[in-house]
Amino acid sequence: MNNDAHVDNAEKDSISSPKNTQICSKEMRNGSRDPKPMAGKTTTASAPVDSEKQISAFERGETTSIPTGETTAASISEVSEDEQQKLPMSKARCIALVLTLTGAAFLNIVSNQSVIIILPTIGRDLSVPESRLQWIVSSYALTFGCFLLVWGRIADIYGKRLIFIWGSVWVTAVTAANPFLPNEIAFDLFRGLHGLGSAATVPTAIGIIATTFPPGKAKNYAFSCYSAGAPLGGAFGNIVSGLIASQTSWKWVFGVTAILSGIITVAAIFLIPRPPAPTGPVVGEKQTVDWIGAALVTVGLVLLLFSLTEGNVVGWKTPWVSVLLVVSLLIVAAFAFWQHHLEKRTTRRPLLKLSLFKNPRFSIGLVIFFIFFAAFNNFMVFATYYYQQFQGLSPLDTSLRFIPVGLSGLCVAFVVSQLLHRVPAVILLGIGHLCMLTTVVLFASPIPPSTSYFAWGLPAMILSVVGSDSAWPCLMLSTSKELPGEDQAMGGALINAMGQLGRAIGLAIATSVQTATMASALGIPIEDVERLEHGNPVTLKGIRAASYLNVGFVITSLVLVVLTFRNMDIIGKTAPQPPSERLAETRSVGEEPEAREKK
């Protein structure tokens, strides 16, 4: 998304309301060194609206925002002399800070993309069964999705700088340990711990930018630069991983990632400004974290994923598999009950407000997120299986076939950012879904394996990223638009969490379909399915079966889009602000900080 120009009405409301304007003003004081406004001088909100509107969108974890053409930190140097006087620190330090935070976003995507390319190689070296190979990817996505809300809340209490630094230290440590892990269980565990640390760096990095830079071009450039981190990670993660694995060992992929993460950690310690000490008592909601809710949702989802995975290993007729599946669902239900109790009968803040689901468009939007990105992630994984396990290509040759994904993503990101305020959301979503549908149909179709990559593999790669990069910002904006301002942060984090959980659970289901198909073709029990030699038609049959599942996912998602968003207006076009809200915003922004705190 071009967050400077295309922001939905709900995000604007979240900034323009008096309550949230005071909160944003307070955060700006705590996170930056801006001089206070002159006493008695009324400041209108018209000037900073564009940059301030970004805070709501970015602080809730929208890390895949579409960058514009101005996506380099060096663009900060283009600000005017008056703007430079408002910078919280020297220009050089501002640029270094933005590059550091962008590097964290870059590494988060690289950590996921690089593992997908070397997945078969890791499985072969660690003797991981075919049916459990997906755990290496899913464990990261699962913990990332589960703890996104938790870390956002912890950062609100203990400070964004502290949580970002410790999250980065954590990522560095567990990534450096990966090459030395001796078995599958330890490797999967540390991949989950990696996702735990990444979930701490994403919302805090966004919040640091939002609260450090004052309104103006500098903040706009900072957000644009940060937005470029994710697509650049997707573009270079595959090729760098394949190159390293081909020339040395797959273990050095984690080694290089750990070194880069360590550099970011050290830079963060010196560059991220320390927030000033509070000058008075904090008035408001009780500063607590819902640890019980976090434990329930994490344990429930881990057990659910484990039962779906182990059913392929020990057989679905094994009694404890079905028992574990039921227990996991009961724990998730207990989580929902606990959240309802906190929201309705206590003053404590729940991890998840269940009242959000009363909005049908928001709820269905979450389902679409879950299904669509389950299909996209499945395609990326099974395309890797096709090139390496069936065609027998090396990690480097495989990564070369994924280059169009990253390069096309940068182009699509810019184009979509220009269309958001011109084209209705349902059209962009429809185009994205049709492109993704074409991609998965190509891999499900009985195209002869001898067919040239340029005839169908290349179009599939390009269309996949056209689909995902068209759907993501539209779904993010149109779904969050349904929420009031006070729920924007929680709703945005939930949207991102659903995307990650869709990747994890969707891959588990697709692996089950693949394994069952291969077992049926070989005439053996599911638990006896193992990796076959290159070129075996049974391997191809399993991959195509998983692709047919993806076809079903995308069609279901497309139907939900048409039924849910068919009457939605252009989401990137902001409506005129009501006079009452403009007056309230002007008064709140024009007041002295002490006067706002007294309110």
pLDDT tens profile 156-209 = 788 889 999 999 999 999 999 999 998 989 999 999 999 999 988 887 887 788
Q: Are 198 and 108 in contact (CB under 8 A)?
A: yes
- Minimal CA–CA distance to 275: which of 226, 224, 210? 210
pLDDT tens profile 383-442 = 999 998 899 888 888 888 988 887 787 788 778 878 877 888 888 899 999 999 999 999
CATH classification number, 69-276, choose in 3.40.50.300, 3.40.50.2000, 1.20.1250.20, 1.10.260.40: 1.20.1250.20
pLDDT at 330 over 90: yes
pTM of the full predicted structure?
Answer: 0.71
Q: Around Cβ 366, how many Cβ atoms within 10 Å?
A: 21
- Arithmetic mean of pLDDT, 117-121: 87
pLDDT tens profile 464-480 = 988 888 888 787 777 76
Long-range contacts of 249-256 (CB under 8 A, 24+ apart): 250/118, 250/121, 250/122, 250/125, 250/395, 251/178, 251/179, 252/179, 253/114, 253/115, 253/118, 254/175, 254/176, 254/178, 254/179, 255/176, 255/179
pLDDT at 44 over 50: no
Tokens describing residue 191 = 């991949």
- As a whole number of Å, the end-to-end CA separation of the chain is 35
pLDDT at 45 over 60: no
Percentage of the chain modeled with pLDDT above 70:
76
Range of lowest pLDDT (36-45, 266-275, 382-391): 36-45
Could you give the CA distance from residue 358 to residue 181 in angstroms, rounded to a whole number? 45
Q: What single-letter amino acid sits at 563?
A: L
- Arithmetic mean of pLDDT, 431-455: 93
pLDDT at 527 over 80: no
Average pLDDT across the chain, whole number: 77
- Arithmetic mean of pLDDT, 282-289: 60
185-189, 232-236, 562-566: range with highest mean pLDDT: 185-189
Kindly indicate the confidence band of residue 5, based on its pLDDT and cuts at 50, 70 and 90: very low
pLDDT at 591 over 70: no
